[in-house]
Amino acid sequence: MDMKPLFALLIIGLVACTGPQPTVTGTYEPPQSFFPDEDIRVRSFTSEVEFQSFISSTGSAGYGGVGFGRTAMMETAVAMDSSAGAKAAPSYSTTNNQVAAVDEADIIKTDGEHIYTVTGQTLFIVKAGEDAEVIATIDLKNTPTGLFVQGDHLAVFGEMYDLEEFKRIGFVPQRGGMTFFNVYDISDRTEPTLVKEYRFEGAYFQGRMYDDKAYIVVSTFPEGRTDMPTPVIIEDGRVRSMPVDDIYYFPIPYDNVQLATVHAIDLADLGSESSVAVTVEWSNQLYMSEENIYIATTETINEWEMRQEILAELIRPQLTSADRDLIAKIEATDPAVLTQAEKKQKIFQIYERYAQFMDQDEQEDLQERLDAELKERLEEYESMTYTILTRIDIDTLSVEATGDVPGTLNNQFALDESNGVLRVATTIQPRWNWGRPMPVDIGIATADAVAPDEPIAEKRIMPPVEQSQSTNNVYTLGMDLQVIGELEGLAPGESIFSTRFMSDRLYMVTFRQVDPFFVIDLSDPAKPREMGQLKIPGFSRYLHPYDENIIIGIGRDATDMGRQQGLKISLFDVTDPAKPTELAKWIAEDQYSQSAAEWEHKAFLFDKEKELLVIPAYSYNWDYRGGSTQNYNGAMVFRITAQDIEMRGIVDHSDGKQQYGPSVERSLWIEDLLYTKSPNLLRVNEISDLSSVANVTLTSKSAGPYPVY
């Protein structure tokens, strides 16, 4: 048998392997493996040298952006004048926040008298009412993605890529741009005045506001540099670098390290800003209660990398003392001289000389030892993915605790804090056996890796096989983020599609072919337990409380075999938690219907007293026999009660966007009027009969080079 292909495969496995890490004072030493049972408490960097060593050790190349409660229904805000005999301000809807008192940044806000919204690079201030009109605009050089309104202050923020401004301030980020945060005085709504400017290095991720303080989270890929070694903050044109001891890291092996940086800005005391950063992986979620910010990041156990580590350990004893010294010198080389990738390449050349002289028996023996060791190590892990949690106190902006649980989060609604307990719902994905038959196993399983003249029967290339089913788990953790209780193994073979924590219960939907709607009791944090479940076709992507006994679900209908159909809205009755039922449902007649509210909860407008439910809706169905049919683009308006869901009509926005795709982004109400917003149009309709009241054109300066009418 030709040994060259097998030798090549062996070398591939050694490329990423290195020897023991030398200990150098003031530098960061990356761990080789992640062990969830070990201490993963964050540490702060002690010097810029240590921070730069961390960047080099994790292989980071440049800055860039990511792709993150007490549960409450959407509230109605009613502002009252405290003076005797004064007229009450109008009632109005607020952003559909996960936690009632914690406002979430959004592209539209209202104070009951005015509407503030953004399209392209323009911010619009609109006078509300039957005579609605744009009374002021702010043209920005960058694209805003979020707003906060607090009294007479309006905060506008988003990502910026303005090279001219970068040159003016003397700092040009390498990748990902920066996040701008502008504060305007809007005491005169017709003439907003800029009073504060911040620039935060990194891509905007998410924003929250509690009381008067805004919390802006940005994400960066850290980069090695000497002049400004840590993330840059620019305040009113003054440039400074973030203190290194405000940056924290986990003792874990990072695959794709980023910094999640929280900036707290007090809108009632402009100029009062504080920051903290945590090193995370690329996949993150953020949840904020009235006391804490939680950043969740995913750590993956990479079986392939584990095989590489074991392979290096097995071959390393054969190295001569001279080659051991040479490898140590390569690893100790300054990262400015040799990158991590270059070091691995040079070490690979040393291992290559040994591997090429192995005969077939030695290689087969090596394979058996590798498989046995890999199997033993994998058995130590409950899951191949873990969620690492960081708790940051919102008052002190200090990192208070860290912990981890098996599995991954679906979205921010998989986290909830109640009475000093953090509740978490995760999915553990299935493990896959990629097959280990000789001779393909040591390296990569591809036919090209086997000698061309070897018979097909001898290649023995096997497709991946599911070794274990996915499962879903619920964990309760104390404020030290150590697990108090768990409920594991729910819905084998399925994944979590939606969750909603309400008081002492969790409502959870999983899906593969049917929709198991679970009711889980969390009244005793040490003993979470399943109370009941309901299995129906389809699934809900978002759950929202109607009241304490009824849950609204929005998602998709499906066949008995799991094939997805059109939009579906359900009412789940949990009065008897042991026997939840589907009280009512509405299913779209067209299977191509879709709604942004399935994924974006801020696009979901609900008010119980008004019996009102509004969601963006879009459908485009092309019938080759008769052209397009059943097409619409707008906002679906429903009458919803505790017993029924009635489709009332669609507020049309087919002309609200000059391109293919869904138009409506958000909706809100003020008194008896419904406002629906698409990029270039704000429509005003009567809630009672949906009759049209006014259309307000929103013309962004970035809409195009020519006026559109």
Q: Are residues 103 and 161 in the same domain?
A: yes
One DSSP character per residue, 617-657 reads: EEEEEEETTTEEEEEEEEEEEEEE-SS-EEEEEEEE-TTS-
Q: What is the DSSP string of 653-706?
A: -TTS-SSSS----EEEEETTEEEEEETTEEEEEETTT--EEEEEE---TTS-SS
Residue 382 tokens read as: 């409950």
Tell which of 557, 587, 617 closes a domain: 587
- Name the strands in the sheet holding 43-44, side by side, starting at the edge strand that comes first in the sequence: 43-44, 247-249, 273-280, 258-266, 213-220, 203-210, 103-104
Q: Which residue has the higher pLDDT, 456 or 235?
A: 235
Are the C-beta atoms of 298 and 66 separated by less than 8 Å? no
Is residue 71 a part of any domain in this protein? no
Q: pLDDT per residue over 502-517, tens digit each?
A: 999 999 999 875 568 9
What are the pLDDT digits (tens) for 556-595? Answer: 887 666 566 789 999 999 999 999 999 999 998 887 788 9
pLDDT tens digits along 240-287: 988 988 998 877 766 677 888 999 999 999 988 999 998 887 668 999
In whole angstroms, what is the distance from residue 559 CA to residue 98 CA?
Answer: 31
At residue 353, does pLDDT exceed 80? Answer: no
Question: Reduced to 3 states, what is the DSSP secondary structure of residue 253?
Answer: coil
Give 28-75 pLDDT, tens digit per residue.
565 666 666 666 777 888 888 888 777 776 655 443 333 333 333 444
Distance between CA atoms of 179 and 142, rounded to whole angstroms?
A: 10
Residue 214, strand partner residues: 209, 265
Q: What is the pLDDT at residue 281?
A: 73
Of 378, 397, 432, the one marking the end of a domain is: 378
Distance CA 402, CA 398 (A): 12
Q: What pLDDT does residue 403 have?
A: 92
For 71, 408, 431, 483, 533, the CA distances from 521, given in Å and listed in that order, are 15, 21, 29, 17, 12
For residue 436, tell me if it sits in a domain: no
Residue 13 sits at φ, ψ, to 5 deg, of -70, -20
Indicate the length of the chain as a whole number: 709
- Asked whether residue 166 is assigned to any structural domain, the reply reads yes
Residue 340 lies in a domain: yes
- Highest-pLDDT range among 437-451, 580-594, 648-662: 580-594
Phi/psi at 636 (nearest 5 deg)?
A: -80, 130
Share of the chain above pLDDT 70, in %: 77
Tell me, yes or no, whether 338 and 285 share the same domain: no
- Domain span including residue 106: 96-299
Say what the alpha-carbon torsion angle 139, 143, 146, 152 is, to the nearest 10 degrees: -20
Which segment of 390-394, 483-487, 512-516, 540-544 scores lowest on mean pLDDT? Answer: 512-516
The tokens for 279 are: 């090193």
Which contiguous run of DSSP H or E holds residue 505?
Answer: strand 505-511
Residue 82 has pLDDT above 50, yes or no: no
Of 345, 378, 411, which residue sits at a domain end?
A: 378
**Contacts within 8 Å (CB) and 24+ apart, 699-703:** 699/122, 700/119, 700/120, 700/121, 700/122, 701/120, 701/121, 701/122, 701/139, 702/120, 702/121, 702/122, 702/143, 703/119, 703/120, 703/658
User: What count of other Cβ atoms lies within 10 Å of the Cβ of residue 297?
Assistant: 26
Burial environment of residue 346 by CB neighbours within 10 A (0 to 12, 13 to 18, 19 or more): middle
Same-domain check for residues 124 and 254: yes
Q: Regarding predicted confidence, which is higher, 38 or 315?
A: 315
Tell whether 349 is covered by a domain. yes
DSSP state of 148: E
Residue 202 lies in a domain: yes
130 plus 277 within the same structural domain: yes
Dist CA 463 CA 316 (whole Å) = 31
Please indicate, yes or no, whether residues 100 and 203 belong to a single structural domain of this protein.
yes
Q: Count the domains in the chain.
A: 4
Alpha-carbon dihedral sign for residues 391, 395, 397, 401: negative
- In angstroms, the CA 254 to CA 250 distance is 9
- SS3 category, 312: helix
Summarised one tens digit per residue, pLDDT across range 529-546 is 999 999 888 889 999 999
Name beta bridge partners: 237: none
Mean pLDDT, residues 321-350? 81
Q: Do both 290 and 147 map to the same domain? A: yes
Answer yes or no: is 391 within a domain: no
Which of 499, 471, 474, 476 shows the shortest CA–CA distance to 403? 476
Predicted confidence band of residue 622 (pLDDT cuts 50, 70, 90)? low
Could you tell me if 220 and 293 lie in one domain? yes
User: Both 265 and 155 in a single domain?
Assistant: yes
Q: Do both 257 and 306 map to the same domain?
A: no
Token pair 């292909």 in the structure block, residue: 5
Instruction: Give 702's pLDDT tier (boundaries 50, 70, 90).
Output: low
Residue 139 included in any domain:
yes
pLDDT for residue 544 = 97
**Do 189 and 228 reside in the same domain of the chain?**
yes
Q: Are residues 104 and 235 in the same domain?
A: yes
Answer for the pair 72, 608: CB distance below 8 angstroms, yes or no: no
Instruction: Looking at the structure, tell me whether residues 117 and 249 fall in a common domain.
Output: yes
Residue entry with tokens 């939009």: 567
Structure tokens at 688: 């009672």
Nearest to 694 by CA among 677, 682, 709, 680: 682
